[in-house]
C-alpha cells in the first residue's frame, strides 16, 4: 500500500494533522493503536477543553468528536486497533492489526503523533512493596470513565499534575474517600483552575513539600508512609514520617513523550522535552518526518496541541507537494529560567508568524519574556505571572524572525517568588 | 586445631566464646549427632542471625536449628487441613519453584504417579521469579560445597535443557572485573594493592577454576575494555568465565512444569501443606488445605518454608533464615550497553553472597543486583531506598556512563539459606520416604538440573523403583511468540488467528492471541502476573499502565470471572473493587 501522509496516532494531535493535510488534497492514513479515535480525550469526561479554539468549555469527548467528524468527512483512511511496529528512514511503516494482519505502507511523509505515557512508580524510585492497588492517574481515569471499573475506595494521590487533580475529584464523585494529594515541590504541578475546581471545592487536602516514602501491603495496598521534604537537601525530613491508611495509591508524577518509534530511526531528540527537535514547520531532523502534540513536548492545553498539529499536517502536505524548499535552520535556545523552547529551530524563509512555546523553571511575577540575539532584543512580551505548569507563548512575526541572523535564546526575567 | 576432631563439648565451649565476642549471651546450646540446637533470646534479629551463622560455621556441623527468640518473632499461622483423601501418588513434591519443578520434570521420565503441589496460584511464584537469571559456572561458590559441585554439573546441562524446553538461554560468559576500587577497603599502599589486583587475585581465581574444571581466562585491561567498552577506566584486569550464561528463570520454571505436566505429572496449585501423617516412622500421607494425599515418598522442595515442612515430618534439623535480594531492571533501549554478565570484584567479600552483577536478560533488559539482606519475615518483598541507592552506587562505579533514568522496575525475592549455608539434599535419616531438598539459594537455578538428578538417585537408592516412562517426551511444546517471528511467519500466524495481529501490550508487543493462549495453556495463567510471566504483557517501560485494563478484561472474558475477582498475583490481591458507581450504590443502599 502506498500513501502520501501517514499519521501515527489518532489522538487530538493526529486528528488535527490528518484533517488539515487532507484538506490540501493529499492522501492521508491515520493509524491508531487504541480501539477508538480521540486518544486520551474520550476518557477526559470533565469539561475545560476548547476554551481557546471554540471559545467555550467542551468536555474531552466533545472536543474529540469535533475533530473525529472533521476527519470522517474527508477521504482519510482510518485504521484503528492497529499498532505501528516499525518505521524506516525511507518512510516505510510496518503495522499490525487483527483484520489485515501484518502489513507495510510506503508513504511520502510521516507525522508522528504518538502522544505520551505516564511516569511510573519505579521512575520516581518509590520504595516499598509491590501490591495490587498502585495505579497511574490516567489508568484509573480510563478504568472508571471508559471501562466502568472502580479501582479502589480509599485513595492517596502522589503528585499534583492535572490528571491527578482531575482524578481526585472524580474519585470523590464516585463515592471514594480521597485522603489527600501529596506534592514533593513547594508549588502544584497542575493548572490553577484545577487546584481550585478539583481540590479546594471538594475539601481535598493538598500537601505541598510532601512525598510518599514507602508503599505498604503485600497483596493489596494497605497504606503509605508520607513525609515532609527538607527543601535544603531534597530529602524527607526525619521525624515527619506518618503512616496513611489507604487501599489505592494514584501516581500523577509526570508524563513522558512516547518516542520509541522516533528513536528507531535516530531522529534528533531534545533531552529537555523528551521529544524530537522540530523546526517551525514541525519537521524533525528527518526530511519529511513531522511531529506534533505530546510526542514533541507535554502540553497542558489540548487547544495548543491542535494548533501545532494543524501546522504539522499542513507542512506534511506541502512536503508531499514539494512546496517546502530547503532552508538553513536557526536554533532557538532556552536561556534564563527556561527549561525548553519549541520549536528548537526556525527556518530562514518565513512567510507567516510563528509561536514559540516555552516552559519556565521557576514561578516569577512581572515576568518579561525576551527573545535575544547576541545582546539585541528580537522580540519581547510581558506576563503578570509565569509558572512551570503553565506553558508560556510568544509570537514572532515573519519579518522579525527573518531578521534573525544565526541563533536566538529565550530568557524569562522577573521577580522570583 | 582440626575441627573434625573436636569433641562436642569443645565445639560448645568455642561457640559460647564466639557468642560472647558478638555480644550474645544466655544461649543454650545442644549438640546431637552434629546438629546444633540453639535456644534462648536475643535483643535483635541481627544477633539471631549471627548466632546461627556462628554455629553453622563448623564444617562438621550438619545442621543448625535456631530456636532463639528475637523481638519481632511471629508465630506462623497455619491453614486448616481437610481430612478427606483427594488423591494418592507414588511421590509428592512440595513446592513449585525451580527446584520442585526440576524434580517433577526429572521424575516424569519414570513410570510414577507424581503430584506436585504449590500453595500459590502459579508455579515460579517465590524466589524463582525474582532470581536475577544468571546461570553461574560455580567459580563464585565456596570450594568443595555441595552447591558448587551441583552448580558446575548443572550449568553444563543448560544448553541442551533450554533447547528441549524451548526457553531462552544465552551463554554470554561472565567477566569478573577487578578495578582500582576492588581492594579499597583493605587500605593498602597502592603498589601492594596493584600487585594483589593484577596478579595474586587472578592467580587464586584461576587456580580455583582449575580445581573444579571450569574454564577461566585472565583478560588484560586492554582486551576487557575492548569487549566491554563501557566499563570504568579504573579497570585493572578481569577474569572471563565463558561458560556462564543467562536464562529466564520464571519461563524456565514454567517450561519445566509444563513439560512435567505433558508427561503425566499432576500439578495442584493453591494447595498448601498443613501437616504430614506418619506411620512407624515412614511417610503415610500429606495433609493439605484441599485434603489428604496418600504417598510413601515426599520431597520437601518448599524453599523458604522447608524447615516448617521438615518439622511437620518430625525431622527438622535446620532453620531457614530468609535473605532478601533486590534487583533493578532497566529499559530494553539500553540493551547493547554491555554484553557479558559483569561481576564487580570486591575484597574482603561480604560472606554468603557473590555480590550480584550487571547483566543483560534474555529479553534485552539490563539488570543490576541483587542485594543480600537478612530479614526476619519470610514474606517481606519490599525494596528499600537503601537498597536502590546501594545498587546504583555499586554499579555506577563499574559502568559510570550508564543511563540510570532508564529504570523501569525493581523487585525482591527471598533466598532460603540455612545456617550451614549449603544445599541440604538427602533422605531423612529418621523418617523413611522423606527427602530434604532444603537450603537452596544461589546458585539454585544453575544447579537445578543436577539437583533433580541427585534427588532421583536418592529415591532409587532408598528403594523406589524407577522404571523408564516410555512415553516421556523431553520437548516441551513451544508457545508462539509473535514478536520473535519474521515478517512472513507473522503474516501466516495472523492469517490463522487474527488475535495474533492485535497488540495488547505496546511496550513488549504482546498480542491478544498470546494472552489467550497463556490463559488456556496446560498450566492456566489465571492472574495478571501469571499472564505477564508467560507473555511479557505489562513487563515493559510503562509497567502495564496501558495494557492492565485490557489484559484484565481479556482474562475476565476468557475465564468468566467477574472483573472484581481478577487478581494481580495471589489471593486477596484484587485489582478492582467493583463496577464504577459501586460505592455510590453502597451509600444509596444505606
Cα–Cα distance list, A173 to A43, A58, A153, A168, A252 (Å): 15, 19, 11, 9, 19
**Residues in B touching A215 (Cβ below 8 Å):** 382
Domains located in chain A, CATH noted: 1-118+254-324 (3.50.50.60), 120-253 (3.50.50.60), 328-417 (2.60.40)
Distances from the Cα of B547 to the Cα of A1, B481, B511, B536, angstroms: 29, 18, 11, 11
pLDDT on residue A233: 83
Cβ of residue B556 closer than 8 Å to a chain A Cβ: no
Residue A76 CA to its chain's centroid (Å): 25
Chain B residues in contact with A151 by the CB 8 A cut-off are 575-577
Asked if A219 lies within 8 A of B573 by C-beta distance, the reply is yes
Q: Which of A33, A99, A138 minimises the CB distance to B503? A: A33
Q: How far is B244 from chain A (nearest CA, A)?
A: 29
**In angstroms, what separates the C-alpha of A337 from chain B's closest C-alpha?**
24
**Are A96 and B502 an interchain contact pair (Cβ–Cβ within 8 Å)?**
yes
All residues of chain B having their beta carbon less than 8 Å from the beta carbon of residue A129 are 380-383
Kindly list the residues from chain A whose CB atom is less than 8 angstroms away from the CB atom of residue B579.
148-150
Burial B327-357 (b: 16+ CB within 10 A, else e): bbbbbbbbeebbbbbbbbbbeeeeebbbbbb
Partners of residue B499 in chain A, C-beta under 8 Å: 98
Contact A161, A138 (CB under 8 A): no
DSSP secondary structure string, A336-377?
Answer: TTEEEEESSEEES--SS-EEEEEEESS-EEEEEEEEEETTEE
**Which residues is B413 bridged to in the sheet?**
B325
Half-sphere exposure at residue B489, Cβ-oriented, CA atoms within 13 angstroms: 7
Q: What's the whole-number mean pLDDT along residues B407-419?
A: 97
Which residues from chain A sit within 8 angstroms of residue B543, using beta carbons? 120-122
Among A8, A175, A217, A256, the residue to mutate for chain B (most B Cβ within 10 A): A175
Q: Give yes or no for residue B443 having a pLDDT over 50.
A: yes
Contacts of B174 (CB under 8 A, 6+ apart): B134, B136, B137, B139, B240, B241, B244, B340, B341, B342, B343, B357
Q: DSSP secondary structure string, B128-171?
A: GGGS--EE--STTSPTT-HHHHHHHHHHTTHHHHHHHHT--EE-
| pLDDT at site B1 | 45
Give chain A positions within 8 Å (CB) of B381: 129-130, 218
| Total length of chain B | 590
Q: pLDDT tens for residues B27-64?
A: 999 999 999 999 999 999 999 999 999 999 998 999 99
Q: How far is the C-alpha of B256 from the C-alpha of B200, rounded, in Å?
A: 42
| Helix, strand or coil, per DSSP, at residue B264 | coil
- Which residue of the set B136, B321, B340, B436 is catalytic? B136
Q: How far apart are CA B101 and CA B107, in angstroms?
A: 10
List the beta strands (DSSP E) in A20-79: 28-31, 47-49, 58-59, 76-79
* A102/B491 Cβ within 8 A: yes
pLDDT above 60 for B26: yes
pLDDT for res B5: 53
Whether A120 and B545 lie within 8 Å, measured CB to CB? yes
pLDDT tens, B305-362?
Answer: 999 999 999 999 999 999 999 999 999 999 899 999 999 999 888 888 888 899 999 9
Percentage of chain B with pLDDT > 90? 92
Q: Does A97 touch chain B (CB under 8 A)?
A: yes
* Per-residue confidence in pLDDT tens, chain A, 417 aa: 899 999 999 999 999 999 999 999 999 999 999 999 999 999 999 999 999 999 999 999 999 999 999 999 999 999 999 999 999 999 999 999 999 999 999 999 999 999 999 999 999 999 999 999 999 999 999 999 999 999 999 999 999 999 999 999 999 999 999 999 999 999 999 989 999 999 999 999 999 999 999 999 999 999 999 999 998 888 999 999 999 999 999 999 999 999 999 999 999 999 999 999 999 999 999 999 999 999 999 999 999 999 999 999 999 999 999 999 889 999 999 999 999 999 999 999 899 999 999 999 999 999 999 999 999 999 999 999 999 999 999 999 999 999 999 999 999 999 998
Contact B385, B292 (CB under 8 A): no
Q: Is B335 on the interface with A (CB under 8 A)?
A: no
Long-range contacts for B1-4 (Cβ within 8 Å, ≥24 apart)? B3/B58, B3/B59, B3/B60, B4/B59, B4/B60
Kindly list the strands in the beta sheet with B169-170, ordered across the sheet, starting from the edge strand earlier in the chain: B134-135, B245-247, B169-170
- Give residues with Cβ within 8 angstroms of A131, minimum separation 6: A215, A217, A218, A219, A220, A221, A222, B568, B573
| B246, B95 Cβ separation under 8 angstroms | no
Helix or strand holding residue B218 (H, E): strand B217-219
How many inter-chain contacts (A to B, CB under 8 Å) are there? 154
Q: Which residue of B has its CA nearest to A149?
A: B579
For A85, the 3-state DSSP assignment is: strand
pLDDT per position as a tens digit, B485-521:
999 999 999 999 999 999 999 999 999 999 999 999 9
Q: At how many degrees (to 10) do helices A302-320 and A60-73 cross?
A: 20
What is d(CA B530, CA B544) in angstroms, rounded to the nearest whole number?
13
- With a CB cutoff of 8 Å and minimum separation 6, the contacts of A403 are A378
Question: Considering only CB atoms, which chain B residues are within 8 Å of A216?
Answer: 382
Minimal CA separation from A161 to chain B, in Å: 16
| Predicted confidence (pLDDT) per residue in B512-538, tens digit | 999 999 999 999 999 999 999 999 999
Question: Chain A within 8 Å of B487 (Cβ-Cβ)?
Answer: yes
Question: Do the Cβ atoms of B545 and A144 come within 8 Å?
Answer: no
Q: Are A148 and A140 in contact (CB under 8 A)?
A: no
From A142, which residue of chain B is nearest by alpha-carbon distance? B549
The tens digit of pLDDT for each residue in B64-100 reads 999 999 999 988 788 889 999 999 999 999 999 999 9
Residue found by looking up cell 522535552 in the block: A273
- B256 contacts B267 by C-beta, under 8 angstroms: no
- Model pTM above 0.90: yes
For the record, the C-alpha cell of B538 comes out as: 505489562
Best residue in A167, A219, A254 to probe B by mutation, most B CBs within 10 Å?
A: A219
CA-closest candidate to residue B422, choices B136, B41, B144: B144
> Cβ contact (<8 Å) for B506 and A120?
no
- Binding-face residues of A in 170-189 toward B, CB within 8 A: 174-176
Q: Is B469 exposed, middle or buried (0-12, 13-18, 19+ CB in 10 A)?
A: middle
Contact call for A263 and B494, based on CB within 8 A: no
**CA atoms of B117 and B123, how far apart (whole Å):** 9
A108 φ/ψ angles, rounded to the nearest 5 degrees: -85, -30
Of B407, B563, B572, the CB nearest to A220: B572
**Collapsed DSSP state (helix, strand, coil) of residue B436:** strand
Give the CA distances from residue B133 to residues A119, B128, B370, in Å, rounded to whole numbers and listed in that order. Answer: 27, 9, 10
Most distant CA atoms of chain A, gap in Å = 66
Q: Which of residues 341-370 of A touch B (CB under 8 A)?
A: none
**Is B541 in the A-facing interface, judged by CB distances under 8 Å?**
yes
Pick from B405, B494, B563: CB nearest A149: B563
pLDDT average, residue stretch B280-296: 98
Per-residue pLDDT band for B589 (boundaries 50, 70, 90) equals low
Please give, rounded to a whole number of angstroms, the shortest distance from the CA of A83 to a CA of chain B: 6
**Could you tell me the pLDDT band of residue B590, with boundaries at 50, 70 and 90?**
very low
CB B287 within 8 A of CB B81: yes
The H-or-E segment that residue A150 falls in is strand A149-150
Which chain B residues have a beta carbon less than 8 Å from that of A117?
541-542, 545-546
Cβ distance B503 to A83 less than 8 Å, yes or no, reads yes
Q: Which of A65, A81, A82 is nearest to A12 (CA)?
A: A65
ipTM of the complex: 0.95
Asked if the Cβ–Cβ distance from A127 to B574 is below 8 Å, we say no
Subunit contact B543:A122, Cβ cutoff 8 A? yes
Looking at every residue in chain B, the average pLDDT score rounds to 95
Q: How many CA atoms lie within 13 A of B581 on its CB side?
A: 6
Q: Does A214 touch chain B (CB under 8 A)?
A: yes
Q: What is the pLDDT of residue A14?
A: 98
Contact status of B480 with chain A (Cβ, < 8 Å): no
pLDDT digits (tens, 9 = 90+) for B142-197: 999 999 999 999 999 999 999 999 999 999 999 999 999 999 999 999 899 999 99
Residues of A in contact with B503 (CB under 8 A): 33, 83, 85, 96
Of chain B residues 153-172, which have a CB less than 8 A from chain A?
A: none
Task: Output the CA–CA distances (angstroms, integers) from residue B436 to A35, A179, B108, B310, in the order listed.
Answer: 53, 49, 19, 8
Q: Given an 8 Å threshold on Cβ–Cβ distance, is A101 in contact with B495?
A: yes
Catalytic residue check, B136: yes
pLDDT at residue B7 tops 90: no
Residue A118 contacts B, CB cutoff 8 Å: yes
Amino acid at each position: 500500500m502506498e500513501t502520501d501522509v501517514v499519521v501515527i496516532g489518532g489522538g487530538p494531535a493526529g486528528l488535527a494533522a490528518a484533517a488539515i493535510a487532507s484538506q490540501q488534497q493529499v492522501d492521508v492514513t491515520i493509524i491508531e493503536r487504541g480501539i477508538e479515535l480521540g486518544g486520551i480525550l474520550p476518557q477526559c469526561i470533565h469539561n475545560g477543553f476548547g476554551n481557546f479554539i471554540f471559545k467555550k468549555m467542551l468536555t474531552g469527548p466533545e472536543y474529540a468528536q469535533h475533530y473525529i467528524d472533521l476527519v470522517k468527512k474527508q477521504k482519510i483512511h482510518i485504521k484503528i486497533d492497529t499498532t505501528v511496529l516499525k518505521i524506516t528512514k525511507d518512510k516505510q511503516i510496518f503495522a499490525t492489526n487483527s483484520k489485515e494482519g501484518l502489513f507495510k505502507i510506503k508513504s511520502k511523509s510521516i507525522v508522528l503523533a504518538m502522544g505520551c505515557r505516564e511516569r511510573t512508580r519505579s521512575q520516581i524510585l518509590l520504595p516499598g512493596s509491590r501490591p495490587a492497588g498502585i495505579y497511574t492517574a490516567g489508568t484509573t481515569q480510563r478504568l472508571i470513565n471508559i471501562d466502568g471499573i472502580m479501582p479502589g475506595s480509599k485513595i492517596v494521590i502522589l503528585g499534583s499534575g492535572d490528571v491527578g487533580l482531575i482524578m481526585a475529584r472524580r474519585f470523590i464523585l464516585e463515592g471514594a474517600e480521597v485522603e489527600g494529594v501529596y506534592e514533593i515541590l513547594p508549588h502544584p504541578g497542575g493548572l490553577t483552575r484545577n487546584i481550585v475546581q478539583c481540590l479546594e471545592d471538594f475539601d481535598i487536602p493538598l500537601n505541598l513539600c510532601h512525598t510518599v516514602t514507602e508503599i505498604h501491603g503485600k497483596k493489596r495496598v494497605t497504606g503509605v508512609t508520607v513525609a515532609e521534604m527538607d527543601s535544603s537537601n531534597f530529602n524527607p525530613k526525619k521525624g515527619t514520617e506518618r503512616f496513611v491508611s489507604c487501599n489505592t495509591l494514584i501516581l500523577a508524577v509526570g508524563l513522558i513523550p512516547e518516542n520509541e518509534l522516533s528513536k528507531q530511526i535516530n531522529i534528533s531528540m531534545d533531552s529537555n522535552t523528551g521529544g524530537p527537535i522540530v523546526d517551525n514547520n514541525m519537521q524533525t531532523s528527518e526530511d519529511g518526518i513531522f511531529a506534533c502534540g505530546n510526542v514533541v513536548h507535554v502540553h497542558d492545553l489540548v487547544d495548543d496541541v491542535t494548533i501545532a498539529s494543524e501546522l504539522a499536517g499542513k507542512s506534511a502536505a506541502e512536503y508531499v507537494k514539494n512546496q517546502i524548499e530547503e532552508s538553513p535552520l536557526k536554533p532557538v535556545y532556552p536561556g534564563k529560567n527556561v527549561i525548553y523552547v519549541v520549536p528548537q529551530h526556525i527556518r530562514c524563509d518565513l512567510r507567516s508568524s510563528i509561536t514559540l512555546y516555552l516552559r519556565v523553571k521557576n514561578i516569577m511575577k512581572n515576568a518579561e519574556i525576551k527573545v535575544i540575539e547576541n545582546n539585541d532584543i528580537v522580540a519581547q512580551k510581558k506576563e503578570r505571572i509565569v509558572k512551570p505548569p503553565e506553558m508560556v507563548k510568544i509570537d514572532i512575526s515573519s519579518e522579525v524572525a527573518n531578521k534573525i541572523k544565526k541563533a536566538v535564546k529565550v530568557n524569562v526575567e522577573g521577580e522570583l517568588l | 586445631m582440626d575441627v573434625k576432631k573436636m569433641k562436642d563439648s569443645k565445639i560448645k565451649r568455642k561457640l559460647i566464646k564466639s557468642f560472647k565476642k558478638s555480644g550474645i549471651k544466655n544461649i543454650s546450646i545442644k549438640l546431637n549427632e552434629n546438629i546444633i540446637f540453639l535456644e534462648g533470646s536475643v535483643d535483635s534479629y541481627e544477633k539471631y542471625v549471627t548466632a546461627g551463622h556462628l554455629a553453622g560455621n563448623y564444617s562438621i556441623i550438619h545442621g543448625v536449628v535456631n530456636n532463639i527468640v528475637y523481638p519481632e518473632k511471629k508465630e506462623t499461622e497455619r491453614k486448616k487441613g481437610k481430612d478427606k483423601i483427594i488423591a494418592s501418588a507414588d511421590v509428592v513434591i512440595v513446592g513449585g519453584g525451580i527446584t520442585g519443578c526440576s524434580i517433577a520434570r526429572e521424575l516424569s521420565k519414570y513410570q510414577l504417579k507424581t503430584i506436585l503441589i504449590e500453595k500459590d496460584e502459579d508455579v515460579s511464584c517465590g524466589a524463582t521469579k525474582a532470581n536475577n537469571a544468571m546461570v553461574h559456572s560455580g567459580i563464585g561458590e565456596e570450594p568443595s560445597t555441595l552447591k558448587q559441585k551441583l552448580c558446575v554439573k548443572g550449568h553444563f546441562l543448560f544448553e541442551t535443557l533450554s533447547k528441549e524446553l524451548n526457553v531462552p538461554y544465552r551463554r554470554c560468559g561472565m567477566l569478573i572485573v577487578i578495578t582500582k576500587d576492588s581492594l579499597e577497603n583493605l587500605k593498602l599502599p597502592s603498589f601492594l594493592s596493584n600487585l594483589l589486583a593484577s596478579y595474586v587475585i587472578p592467580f587464586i581465581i584461576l587456580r580455583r577454576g582449575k580445581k573444579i574444571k571450569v574454564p577461566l581466562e585472565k583478560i588484560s585491561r586492554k582486551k576487557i575494555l575492548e569487549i566491554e567498552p563501557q566499563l570504568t577506566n579504573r579497570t585493572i584486569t578481569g577474569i572471563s568465565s565463558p561458560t556462564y550464561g543467562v536464562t529466564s528463570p520464571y519461563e524456565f520454571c514454567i517450561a519445566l512444569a509444563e513439560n512435567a505436566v505433558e508427561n503425566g505429572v499432576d500439578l495442584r496449585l493453591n494447595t498448601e501443606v498443613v501437616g504430614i501423617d506418619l506411620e512407624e516412622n515412614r511417610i503415610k500421607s500429606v495433609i493439605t488445605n484441599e485434603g489428604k494425599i496418600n504417598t510413601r515418598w515426599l520431597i520437601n522442595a518448599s524453599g523458604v518454608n522447608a524447615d516448617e515442612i521438615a518439622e511437620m515430618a518430625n525431622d527438622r534439623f535446620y532453620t531457614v533464615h530468609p535473605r532478601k535480594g533486590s534487583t533493578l531492571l532497566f529499559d530494553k533501549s539500553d540493551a547493547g550497553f554491555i554484553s557479558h554478565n559483569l561481576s564487580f570484584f570486591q575484597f574482603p567479600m561480604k560472606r554468603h553472597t557473590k555480590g550480584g552483577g550487571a547483566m543483560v536478560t534474555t529479553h534485552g533488559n539490563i539488570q543490576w543486583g541483587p542485594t543480600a539482606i537478612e530479614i526476619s519475615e519470610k514474606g517481606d518483598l519490599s525494596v528499600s531506598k537503601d537498597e536502590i541507592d546501594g545498587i546504583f552506587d555499586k554499579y555506577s562505579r563499574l559502568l559510570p556512563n550508564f543511563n540510570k533514568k532508564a529504570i523501569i522496575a525493581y523487585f525482591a525475592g527471598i533466598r532460603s539459606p540455612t545456617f550451614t549455608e549449603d544445599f541440604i539434599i538427602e533422605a531423612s535419616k529418621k523418617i523413611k520416604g522423606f527427602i530434604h531438598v532444603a537450603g537452596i539459594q544461589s546458585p539454585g537455578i544453575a544447579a537445578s538440573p543436577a539437583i533433580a538428578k541427585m534427588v532421583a538417585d536418592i529415591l532409587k537408592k532408598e528403594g523406589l523403583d524407577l522404571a523408564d516412562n516410555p512415553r516421556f517426551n523431553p520437548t516441551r511444546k513451544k508457545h508462539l511468540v509473535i514478536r520473535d517471528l519474521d515478517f512472513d511467519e507473522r503474516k501466516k500466524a495472523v492469517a490463522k488467528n487474527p488475535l495474533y495481529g492485535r497488540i495488547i501490550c505496546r511496550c513488549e508487543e504482546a498480542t491478544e492471541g498470546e494472552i489467550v493462549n497463556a490463559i488456556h495453556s496446560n498450566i492456566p495463567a489465571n492472574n495478571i502476573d501469571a499472564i505477564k510471566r508467560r507473555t511479557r504483557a505489562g513487563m515493559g517501560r510503562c509497567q502495564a499502565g496501558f495494557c492492565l485494563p485490557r489484559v484484565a478484561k481479556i482474562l475476565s472474558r476468557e475465564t468468566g470471572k467477574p472483573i472484581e475477582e481478577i487478581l494481580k498475583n495471589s489471593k486477596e490481591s484484587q485489582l478492582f473493587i467493583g463496577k464504577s458507581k459501586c460505592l455510590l450504590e453502597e451509600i444509596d443502599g444505606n
